[in-house]
Structure 1
Amino acid sequence: MSPPKANHAPAPDKVRIARALISVSDKAGLVELGKALAARGVEILSTGGSAQRLAEAGVPVKEVSDHTGFPEIMDGRVKTLHPRVHGGILARRDIHADAMAQHDIPGIDLVVVNLYPFEATVAKGAAYDDCVENIDIGGPAMIRAAAKNHDFVAIVTEPSDYEAVMDELATHDGCVTLALRRKLAQRAYARTAAYDAAISTWLAGQLGETFPPRATLSGALAQTLRYGENPHQQAAFYVTGEKRPGVATAVQLQGKELSYNNLNDTDAAFELVAEFEQPAVAIIKHANPCGVAQGSNLLEAYKSALLCDPVSAFGGIIAVNRSLDAETAEEISKLFAEVVIAPDADEAARALLATKKNLRVLLTKDVPNPAEPGMMIKQLSGGFLLQNRDNGRISPAELKVVTKRAPTEQELADLLFAFRVAKHVKSNAIVYAKNGATVGVGAGQMSRVDSARIAAIKSAEAAKAAGLSEPLTKGSVVASDAFFPFADGLLAAAEAGVTAVIQPGGSIRDNDVIAAADEKGLAMVLTGMRHFRH
């Protein structure tokens, strides 16, 4: 069916609010709004709990069932789905006045509706039937009707917008301007779109459909950023509502506003440090680790992580997976860092970091579960890619020893550590590790052998800066995020002094690589799992 053609006059700039319909699940600010409307003589129609709350506060209110002459039925499923409600919302005052008079349909000038808490019901793990009962029907219908007819009707879906409406009523003698009505209409459609997206995503999950025929995404604006990756780009931060500990749920204790790059790098740092059960520290620069270590405590882990590449660590992001203590905070405060993110921090640590006024400190209450499923999105021109979060883990039992020599117990521990780190390094990724700490990282190179060489060079520079007599890679192990296509990458690592290798395997030249490892006396294990990161 084709939509009707517009045949009406331009919308009025100001619309006087004579009658309002209020039906809200979230009662925040309800009484204040009701009193402001009543003070201007606005007739208030309402339903159920909203009507009761207003009446208890002394606000004159008329039940919708009294307005329609039809009772709520079917356990409240049908109460606002009535011509006297929707006619009053949808009627254009310039061309539908006769129909309104003929059918005795008074106009409704303001609709204040927020929806049944479907998202919250799902989040708390409610049963299927309870989730379905919390799918609002009348609410979205009224919201969409009022938003469509914003030439004459103001629609409010969030308590945060009440103040703007009350301000306009005060400024414009009981009227709401077209500019605000249009803004509220956009927000209303965004809200119903997000609501429907949440329902469809939940239903797809109930059906076991990871990738349904139509994917719907939504986010709520958390922060408008000063700029994007570069000053000439505009940017904003939106949150999806996923309750995963991290930058989206953290509390910022201090410091300047987080930038686009801060947010991206901090997320990378916290996701990496969450990989480890022991106290661990990750130092990130441009979404790549320049030092990662675990230890018996955070201070030990921090010093080991910083040793890997102290030059690159300058101006980086520091993530820890334990509550930050004063000793570690004091050591961190010696380095210029952009952000520190931790599950918590004791009072002494907070006081120490507070002396660094520009340092952003984020606390998350918890660390993300690296094994937890989730989705990742990458924008393309004309579309987007959607994939599961890389939550792959390799256990010692899953490793396949392919060389004449098997790794020692210490080598095995370092190999597994290095492979976990490699998962968080941009491909092609090479990670050298020793005693539970990275000693060299090669990231983002087009050639794997170049990554191996660059990591070794930076390791030698770090050793020299620390006054050590030999490169940190001497006696280390190496992890590769994907297979070695040729033996040259492995040989470059051998030249750096590694004793053991972990890599996925799967190259047509695996036998050549294995032979090269045997010739150098290296132990090598295959994971059968790769960790590309682009």
Structure 2
Amino acid sequence: MAPIALLSVSDKEGLVPLAKTLTEDYGYQIISSGGTAKSLEEANVVVTRVADYTGSPEILDGRVKTLHPRVHGGILAKRTESTHLRDLEQQNISKIDLVVVNLYPFQQTVTDPNVHWETAIENIDIGGPAMVRAAAKNHSDVVILTNPNQYRYFLDALKADQVTEQMRQKFALEAFEHTAAYDVAISNWIAEKLKLDKSQWLEVLPLQQKLRYGENPHQCASWYSSKNKGWGGATQLQGKELSTNNLLDLEAALSTVREFGYSNDETNPDKQKAAVVVKHTNPCGVAISTSSCDAISRALEADRVSAFGGIVALNYSVNSEAATLLTNLFLECVVAPSFDKGAREILSKKPNLRLLQLTPESLTQVSKNHARSILGGILVQDQDNQIIRPESWRVVTKRCPTEKEKKDLAFAWSLVRHVRSNAIVIASSGQSLGIGAGQMNRVGSAKLALDASGEKAKGAVLASDGFFPFDDTVKMSGEYGIKAIIQPGGSIRDKDSIAACDELGITMLFTGMRHFLH
């Protein structure tokens, strides 16, 4: 008796070559329905339509086609179970040996933000997942294919008579992953559409690549990412394989540089160009300028010692002049919206330097959530990406900021929320001068930042991600010549810090918003 293959696919890629090989080389009988059957018939492949095979017509506008005992009995029957074989014989059901199914394009349908509810619902597949799950459950006797990428692999194994149990198990795993991802997409879309809280955190991220190791060589690591979204949409143009630490630093650098816009639009000569250098997930040098070269130079010079071996993120296309500057120091990675031909040629002379091109389009559909793992679970919160609104800030000292200080304070406040708390940033004229990160007390972070700034702190501004519990940071700032401070406010001792500022002639602004980054 000829083997039977049931083909019902939304994605028609590779369908006709697969069906022709099955029928012409291996004598398969093809069962199909709807658009799949039509495509095969137009390609002169002999097909038995599901309605003819089951003896039952498609009903409910096609909602019920394959939900029939002749289909599911043929898929689910165990070939080694005598009672199953007896049932097949009594019900005149043939065994189905191969199931090739992928599902209605729900995910693609709902990428349209204006899709109608009814349209989305009609793109929820019912019969498809049932067949996939049935075939995957009975993988010892039935091969299940859910992706066109599997077709050649399967046909090669069929030709060599090497369709092994291990291969069937692998296809079954991929099949259950396929239906699981489908159900997650549906449930997440409904929750978002109806603005309902989810009782379970559901997320599906395909494997992007296995990493050489994790944060340390003894740790295994893998990178999972949404296709074409965020880092999943990045193109590595050159350099060694990315590591776990590279990706963590790249994320920190990108989140910081995006404070100043991120696009390929070079038509406006006054566009603000930003360069960010990150080391161990903390910015160590940041600068903005209307000149791409000036932004890079000032960001690297902000802390050249720490910049060695760092990660650089730019919010503009890299040209030859900018590329030349990037070759003057050992760097691990550079990420930007694009690199022109001249820049690629110059940077290729540093073959180990990882170049990543991440287009602005890859950032438009990233999740608004920030998830982090803890032992046995995850924490999910909103991204800390609120637009900075200087008009809401409050001057609490006698002295008001100058126009230059206002710009410097806005710049410093944009940076400090990307520094691990306790965080202090010293800045002036669109350049970071000193950054204190991750200390157990705020005055310790301030000491690090001020010492790094040195003489440049005179006339500069200071930003703090959290309030001052005491006036010690203000007094230390005065010793270094800081002229303006920005902080959230809200301490029971705010009046002490305000009084210290007034005594030292320092301006202080309260933002009313804290920016801890743990």
Query: Normalization by structure 2: what TM-score?
Result: 0.94
Mapped contact 2:274–2:314 kept (Cα < 8 A): yes
Contact between 1:271 and 1:370, CA under 8 Å: does it hold in 2?
no
1:214 counterpart = 2:196: no
- 1:111 paired residue number: 99
In 2, the alpha carbon distance for the partners of 1:105 and 1:517 equals 88
Matched, 1:162 2:151: yes
- Select which of 471, 477, 484 maps to 1:493: 477
- Counterpart residue number, 2:110: 122
Q: How many angstroms does 1:369 deviate by?
A: 6.7
Is the CA contact (8 Å cut-off) linking 2:275 and 2:286 kept in structure 1? yes
Equivalent residue letter for 2:477: A
Q: 1:171 aligns with which of 152, 157, 160?
A: 160
Which of residues 186, 190, 195 is equivalent to 2:182? 195
Q: Is the 8 A contact 1:44 1:62 kept in 2?
A: yes
Q: Deviations over 1:425-458 (max 9, x none)?
A: 1111111111011111111111111111112223
Q: Bigger CA drift: 431-440 or 490-499?
A: 490-499
Cα 1:312/1:218, change in 2 over 3 Å: same
In 2, Cα distance between equivalents of 1:114 and 1:495: 69
Q: 1:502-522, CA deviations, whole angstroms, 9 ceiling, x for partnerless residues?
A: 111111111111111112111
Q: Give distance in 2, aligned partners of 1:495 and 1:144.
A: 71
User: Contact 1:429–1:443 (CA<8 Å) still a contact in 2?
Assistant: yes
Instruction: Pick closer, same or farther for the CA change 1:87–1:373 going to 2, 3 Å.
Output: closer
Give the one of 425, 430, 441 matched to 2:424: 430
Cα distance in 2, alignment partners of residues 31 and 426 from structure 1? 55
**Letter in structure 1 aligned against 2:490:** G
- Asked if 2 retains the 8 angstrom alpha-carbon contact of 1:114 and 1:158, the reply is yes
Kindly indicate whether the alpha-carbon contact (under 8 Å) linking 1:271 and 1:368 is maintained by their aligned counterparts in 2: no
- Secondary structure of 1:472's partner? helix
| 1:148-159 correspondence runs (5 A) | 148-159=137-148
Equivalent of 1:349 in 334, 343, 358: 343
Aligned pairs for 1:47-446 within 5 A: 47-95=33-81, 96-125=84-113, 126-172=115-161, 176-209=163-196, 211-241=197-227, 244=229, 246-277=230-261, 278-366=272-360, 374-446=368-440
Paired letter, 2:432: T
Asked whether the equivalents of residues 371 and 391 of structure 1 are also in contact (C-alpha less than 8 Å), the reply is no
- Cα drift, residue 371 of structure 1: 12
| Cα displacement (A) at 1:163 | 2.4
Q: Distance in 2 between matches of 1:23 and 1:67?
A: 14
> CA–CA distance in 1 between the matches of 2:37 and 2:252?
48
Question: Alpha-carbon deviation of 1:368?
Answer: 7.2
Opposite residue 478 of structure 1, the aligned amino acid is L
1:55-91: CA deviation from partner (whole Å, max 9, x where unpaired) = 3333332221221112222222111111111111111
Is the contact between residue 480 and residue 502 of structure 1 (CA under 8 Å) also seen in structure 2? yes
**CA-to-aligned-CA distance 1:209-267 (integer Å, 9 cap, x gap):** 2x4212211110111111111111111111135x64x4221111111111111112112
Task: Give the direction of change, closer, same or farther, for the CA distance of 1:178–1:111 in structure 2 (3 Å limit).
Answer: same
Aligned residues of 1:439 and 1:472 also touching (Cα < 8 A): yes
Number of aligned residues: 504
Deviation at 1:292, TM superposition (A): 0.9
Residue 41 and residue 496 in structure 1: after superposition, are their counterparts in 2 closer, same or farther (change >3 A)?
farther
Gaps of 5+ in 1: 1-15, 461-470
Query: Aligned Cα RMSD in Å?
Result: 1.9
Residue 345 to residue 111, structure 1, CA distance change in 2 (3 Å): same
Structure 2 equivalent of residue 10 of structure 1: none
- Deviation digits for residues 289-340 of structure 1 (CA, Å, limit 9, x no counterpart): 1111110121111111111111111111111111111111111111111111
**Letter of the 1:476 counterpart:** A
Aligned equivalents of 2:363 and 2:423: distance in 1? 23
**Shift of residue 365, structure 1, vs aligned partner:** 2.2
Q: Equivalents in 1 of 2:478, 2:131: separation in Å?
A: 69
Q: CA deviation at 1:17?
A: 9.1
Residues 426 and 325 of structure 1: CA distance in aligned 2, closer, same or farther (over 3 Å): same
| Structure 1 Cα separation of the partners of residues 515 and 345 of structure 2 | 39
Give the TM-score taking structure 1 as reference length: 0.91
Question: What runs of 5+ residues in structure 2 fail to find an aligned partner?
Answer: 262-271
Amino acid in the other structure paired with 2:199: P
SS in 2 for 1:455: helix
CA contact (8 A) 1:422 1:481 kept: yes
Shift of 1:478: 0.9
Tell me, what secondary structure is at the counterpart of 1:145? helix
Q: For the Cα contact (< 8 Å) 2:233–2:362, is it kept in 1?
A: no
For 2:268, the equivalent position in structure 1 comes to none
Question: 2:487 is matched with which residue?
Answer: 503
